[in-house]
Chain A
Amino acid sequence: MQKSNFKKDEVLVKIRNLHKYFYTGKRTIYALRGVDLDIYEKDFVVIFGPSGCGKSTLLNLILGIDKPTKGRVEIKGVNIFKLSEDERATFRAQRIGTIYQMSYWVKSLTALENVALPLVIKGIKSYFALRRAEDIMEKMGIGDLKNQIPTQLSGGEQQKVGLARAIVVNPLIIIADEPTGNLDSKAGREVMKILEYLNKEEERTIILVTHNEEYWDYGKRRVEMKDGKIIKEENHGYRISA
């Protein structure tokens, strides 16, 4: 395993000896079998591997919406599994932005209101929340979508609005689980470019899970998983090909 180049930066997410087993009837599925990983500030980690290698399980544990069988996840020194479910929810609301393969929406709200939602949940007055959401959307070039109902947008547009929602709270970490999975390659590249911009220009930490080889070269670090373990970790600083 290669050593990281980013030692000078503070460790943001510290994962130690993480195990997760699922029990389905008589069978036990070993989704994670001892994962150790450090993610630094301003990092852009691409986690890849075949289906069932445990990528999504790892993300869910970092997000704190699942609990590990063994091991711990520390974010900024806080062991998130020592918090209650509601405390973890607040922690998520304040520090983590998420984007998934499929965007989930509150169908009765407009794109703008959906983007503002994490801010409102965080406790910001709706007037300010909506203004900030509008700023972000304008900046990302999707200002014209703000009054649309998200489910009526195209897949690419939905993912962009989803990204706006992920970054609206100014999170420490953006977690992206196959954000391009449902997109054609052009739309997929657009989403990846936005992620790259967010990392490079806005210095946001990004954890991206994908099994699309096309995007493995984005990001600063590459983590390969197989059978619930990290089998390879590579640093390449900035991406080497477009």
Chain B
Amino acid sequence: MDIAFLLKFIFKNLAAHRLRTLLTIFAMMIGIATIVFLISFAFGLEKLVTREITGGRAFELIDVGPTGSRLVKLDKKNVEKISKISNVKAVEPLINAGARIKRLGDKEIPEGIDASFVGITSRGMDWAGLTVSSGQLLSQTSYGEATNLDAKIIINDKLANIAEYGETKGKGLIGKKIKLEVIIPQEISKEEKNVVYENKEFEVIGLVNSGSSPIIYTNLNNFEEFGIRSFSQAKVETVLKNQIPIVRKQIENLGFSTQYIGEIVDQVRQVFNFFKAILGGFGLIAIIIASLGMFNILTISLLERIKEVALLKIIGMKRKDIRKIFFSEAIMMGMGGGVLGIALGIGVSKIVNQIFNSYALEAGGEPVVIFLYPFWFLLLVFIFAVLIGVITGLYPAIRASRIDALNVLRYE
């Protein structure tokens, strides 16, 4: 049968019962929109959470830390050992110390501001995804490189804010001196106790946008003068991502503890998959109700058109073509419901996101995206909608093709 005529036939049939068709598509649309809305919410939350616990290239790195043993320290010798493990591409050590800021620019702070004081290499900064919002990054260094101590630091905006340097004022800090006490914790100190170095001066060269508490970053080598025995932690990059478990094992065999953010994220993902399944379940209930309605409508429409079907048979239409007509009508409604449902789901979630953000802004928070729609997910939803059309259309289509034309005429 000519496809153009078939399509015309189907559209005219659907149009002949406009209200009924629209209501059926509407029900389907609500069901699909519910699924899109709920699951895109789960996607958005998942993204928010995983972004919060990761930054930069965290997914490709192993975190190595000391186990607390006095014998095995994460010192230069051991970092060297780790870097020689096969499939290890790079190792970047890191120092976490403390600082109490006494003077920031021209401003004396007698009570002091406590901050983390991080010694980091260039590649370490790159891995952490640190970028300056103004000023410049620390000079290129890698650990162990013989460089002059430069006494330069970058600070994060949280510190600038606390010190009452606002966004524009923070920029004013660049080039200014900062005076602080450096506190070296006992785990890394040569003296095996907390050591405080007073009245140290550094120059602020950049402002970064990271972290939720005050942080100061400086070149790892600047810690040379503070009697460091070992590093606080190290980050390890493997040649290939799938080598992470093996390399972890080997590092642990050297006596260190390791962590891989991917593992934590996997756990978070599992929780969210469960969450999605539950939300999807709610959506599914809506879909089931909608498809029962659709099934009902298709069956009624078949009963109404039983004479039409008998006529089509008598003038020679094959059963296959009769099936095609009813089937296509169901699929058409499924498709309509799918497309409109996806549009409605996205539309409503955008509005909800807007409302949420306007409240968040009022409360002094930052605008966030709490709904995400991966393309594959929308495609899947669309296929699902079409599939519902197929399933609900199956029985009426088969039944229509089996109508006994003679019986219809005889009992007319």
| A contact residues vs B (CB 8 Å cutoff) | 60, 63, 65-66, 85-86, 89-94, 96, 98, 100, 102, 104-109, 113, 117-118, 120-126, 129, 165
Contact = CB atoms under 8 A, between A and B. Distances in A.
A208 to B, nearest CB: 17
Nearest to A95: B316
Given A121-B312, A124-B2, A109 B9 contact: yes
B314 to A, nearest CB: 6
A98 B319 CA distance: 19
Nearest to B8: A126
A117 B308 contact: no
Given A93-B317, A104-B310, A129 B406 contact: no
Contacts of B2: 120, 123-126, 129
Interface string B317-351: 11111000000000000000000000000000000
A234 to B, nearest CB: 29
Interface string B116-156: 00000000000000000000000000000000000000000
17 contacts: A65-B314, A65-B406, A86-B318, A86-B319, A93-B316, A102-B412, A105-B311, A106-B9, A107-B305, A108-B15, A113-B8, A117-B315, A121-B312, A123-B2, A125-B4, A126-B2, A126-B4
A117 B307 CA distance: 15
A121 B313 CA distance: 10
B391 interface: no
B409 interface: yes
B210 interface: no
A-side interface mostly = helix
Contacts of B13: 108
A108 B12 contact: yes
B378 interface: no
B16 interface: yes
B310 A109 contact: no
Interface in B96-116: none
B308 A90 contact: no
A177 to B, nearest CB: 9
Contact of A107 (B4, B8, B16, B313): B16
Given A118-B315, A121-B316, A125-B4, 15 more contacts: A65-B314, A65-B406, A90-B318, A92-B315, A94-B316, A104-B314, A106-B311, A107-B16, A117-B315, A120-B5, A121-B1, A124-B2, A126-B5, A129-B2, A129-B5
A165 B316 contact: no
B261 interface: no
Contact of A104 (B15, B311, B316): B311
Contact size range, B: 20 to 34
Contacts of A91: 316
Interface of B: 1-2, 4-5, 8-9, 12-13, 15-16, 305, 307-308, 310-321, 405-406, 409, 412
Contact of A63 (B1, B4, B5, B314): B314
Contacts of B318: 86, 89-90, 121
Nearest to A66: B406
B315 A98 contact: yes
Contacts of B316: 89-94, 96, 118, 121-122
B149 to A, nearest CB: 86
A117 B409 CA distance: 19
Nearest to A67: B406
A104 B320 CA distance: 21
A120 B1 contact: yes
Contacts of B409: 100
9 smallest CB-CB distances across A and B, nearest first, come from: A93-B316, A104-B311, A126-B5, A108-B16, A108-B12, A92-B316, A118-B315, A126-B2, A120-B5
Nearest to B316: A93
B4 A165 contact: no
A129 B307 CA distance: 23
B308 A105 contact: yes
A93 B316 CA distance: 4
Nearest to B409: A100
B16 A123 contact: no
Contacts of A60: 406
Contacts of A89: 313, 316-319
A98 B310 CA distance: 13
A9 B345 CA distance: 71
A123 B317 CA distance: 10
A19 to B, nearest CB: 17
B8 A165 contact: no
Contacts of A165: 315
A109 B317 contact: no
B401 to A, nearest CB: 10
Contacts of B12: 108-109
Contacts of A93: 315-317
Contacts of A121: 1, 312, 315-318, 321
A51 B319 CA distance: 32
A89 to B, nearest CB: 5
Nearest to A93: B316
A100 B305 CA distance: 18
A80 B312 CA distance: 19
Contact of B313 (A65, A100, A117, A126): A65
